[in-house]
């Protein structure tokens, strides 16, 4: 698929910077495959832009390659030199790039961490040139990077010379479900949801799936089959970002299989508690993991390392560590079809259920933004206690109103007894505990029986079907 889909917010952000009358210095970063380069390239179409991609090479070669790129834009210096003598001269030359009709010049340095890691003085040099010359120019300078830990810990830290220079910082996240569903216009709604739950809004992964083939065939040929691009994708990403990948593999697989509390992870992996805390912190910083608390948990309670549960934020990691990693031996011998039929397919609905909850939360957030809910919530997430668990709970600032929702991703329609159970949970938990107004909702992929609709009308329960999410 060659058509560029989604990323409206990101493009709007870049367009705003482009139309500014000031010099703009923007940092865009996010995990590999997230679509940074494609989004920026699409934005640059039909604009006066210099696009340079750094490579993992030595500083001398990097400067040579950058010089060739800049000088190719018919700079006055190109008559006399083939390479700049220093990075300062190279960055200063960006002033000389001409722009038709006084439109803003765009300079993109993709994978900037490769440049900065190889030559530690690069941030200082760029800071000097920006402060003295470039910020006065009608220029949009974009630094882009995939090494999230390096960007956040180095480039964006107070100790870095570039700190405070950026006029915009944008961390790119996976695509929303509403965007990812556009990749498969002819698929049914259930398969679109499953694809999103597996691929997690990563545009590159979606581009590998053939919309003309069935979901099963795509999963088998692109993920489970040895030699396919996604077969070893998480291992590649782990080696790029982390030392000790074997240890992290054990931790991630443990969480993927449902052991999510700190104590459960520690008892399963037998990693010393202090070290485990560090490993979990690193995975959180990389955006692969999150620590989740019941929505009403106080900040003080969150300080307790034993509280909360750990959840894989990366959808594809969830799938890979649930189905690929534990079955590696069989998959290595080409037994991918049996693995799908006997292991993946029977567990697929259960696997997708947590992602379905997140899709429902995404839908509620959009409704909240448009002020289309009974109240405007400031918090949303899961809620659980010792005996009760509610899929989605949203509340306003003073906790006077709640929206409580159940989410069901399965093949059968919901009946009135299912609604009664959800109602009872609210009457015995949120409503009783908080003494607040509770709005009761229900999300069901397949819809509801006639009795369920009658019961919902009698008890003021809002019913949402799978088709409503599109």
Let me know whether 326 and 404 are in one domain: no
Angle between helices 262-269 and 273-285 (to 10 degrees): 110
Q: What is the pTM of this model?
A: 0.89
* CB 405 within 8 Å of CB 391: yes
Same domain, 338 and 200: yes
Q: What is the domain count for the chain?
A: 3
In-domain check, residue 2 = no
- Examine residue 1 and state whether it is found in any structural domain, yes or no: no
- Whole-angstrom distance, CA of residue 337 vs CA of residue 344: 10
Write out the residue range of the structural domain in which residue 465 sits.
373-469
How large is the average pLDDT for residues 265-269? Answer: 96
**Whole-number Å distance between alpha carbons of 31 and 453:** 43
The strand order across the sheet containing 401-408 reads 379-384, 389-395, 401-408, 437-444, 461-465
Checking if the pLDDT of 1 tops 60, the result is no
Residues 269-313 have pLDDT tens digits of 999 999 999 999 999 988 889 999 999 888 888 887 677 899 999
Structure tokens belonging to residue 321: 């560590």
pLDDT tens string 88-133:
999 999 998 876 567 899 999 999 999 999 999 999 999 999 999 9
Domain end, chosen from 171, 197, 226, is at 171
Q: Judge if 163 and 296 occupy the same domain.
A: no
**243 and 317 together in one domain:** yes
Do 125 and 182 sit in the same domain of this protein? no
Q: Is pLDDT above 90 for 378?
A: yes
Which tens digits make up the pLDDT trace of 43-80? Answer: 999 998 999 999 999 999 999 999 999 999 888 888 89
Q: What was the pLDDT predicted at 75?
A: 87
């Amino acid at each position: 698929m060659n058509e560029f889909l989604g990323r409206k917010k990101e493009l709007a952000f870049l367009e705003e910077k482009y139309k500014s009358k000031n010099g703009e210095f923007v940092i865009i970063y996010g995990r590999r495959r997230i679509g940074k380069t494609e989004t920026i390239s699409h934005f640059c179409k039909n604009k006066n832009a210099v696009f340079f991609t750094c490579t993992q090479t030595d500083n001398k070669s990097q400067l040579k390659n950058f010089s060739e790129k800049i000088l190719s834009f018919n700079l006055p210096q190109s008559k006399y030199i083939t390479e700049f003598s220093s990075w300062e001269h190279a960055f200063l030359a960006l002033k000389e790039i001409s722009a038709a009709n006084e439109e803003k010049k765009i300079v993109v340095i993709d994978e900037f961490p490769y440049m900065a890691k190889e030559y530690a003085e690069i941030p200082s040099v760029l800071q000097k040139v920006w402060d003295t010359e470039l910020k006065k120019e009608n220029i949009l300078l974009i630094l882009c990077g995939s090494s999230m830990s390096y960007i956040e810990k180095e480039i964006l830290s107070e100790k870095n010379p570039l700190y405070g220079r950026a006029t915009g910082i944008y961390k790119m996240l996976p695509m929303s479900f509403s965007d990812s569903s556009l990749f498969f216009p002819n698929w049914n709604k259930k398969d679109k949801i499953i694809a999103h739950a597996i691929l997690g809004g990563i545009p590159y992964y979606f581009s590998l799936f053939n919309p003309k083939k069935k979901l099963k065939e795509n999963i088998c040929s692109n993920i489970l089959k040895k030699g396919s691009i996604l077969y070893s994708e998480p291992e590649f990403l782990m080696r790029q970002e982390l030392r000790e990948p074997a240890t992290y593999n054990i931790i991630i697989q443990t969480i993927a299989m449902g052991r999510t509390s700190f104590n459960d992870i520690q008892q399963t992996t037998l990693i010393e508690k202090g070290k485990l805390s560090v490993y979990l912190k690193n995975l959180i910083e990389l955006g692969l993991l999150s620590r989740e608390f019941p929505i009403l948990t106080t900040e003080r309670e969150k300080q307790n390392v034993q509280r909360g549960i750990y959840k894989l934020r990366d959808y594809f990691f969830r799938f890979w560590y649930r189905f690929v990693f534990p079955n590696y031996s069989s998959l290595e011998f080409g037994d991918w079809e049996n693995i799908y039929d006997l292991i993946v397919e029977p567990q697929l609905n259960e696997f997708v259920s947590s992602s379905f909850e997140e899709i429902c939360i995404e839908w509620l957030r959009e409704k909240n933004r448009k002020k289309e809910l009974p109240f405007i919530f400031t918090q949303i997430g899961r809620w659980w206690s010792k005996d009760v668990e509610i899929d989605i709970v949203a509340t306003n600032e003073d906790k006077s109103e709640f929206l409580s929702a159940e989410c069901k991703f399965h093949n059968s329609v919901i009946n009135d007894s299912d609604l009664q159970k959800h109602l009872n949970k609210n009457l015995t938990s949120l409503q009783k505990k908080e003494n607040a107004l509770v709005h009761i909702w229900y999300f069901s992929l397949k819809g509801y029986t006639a009795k369920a609709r009658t019961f919902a009308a009698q008890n003021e329960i809002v019913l949402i079907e799978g088709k409503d999410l599109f």
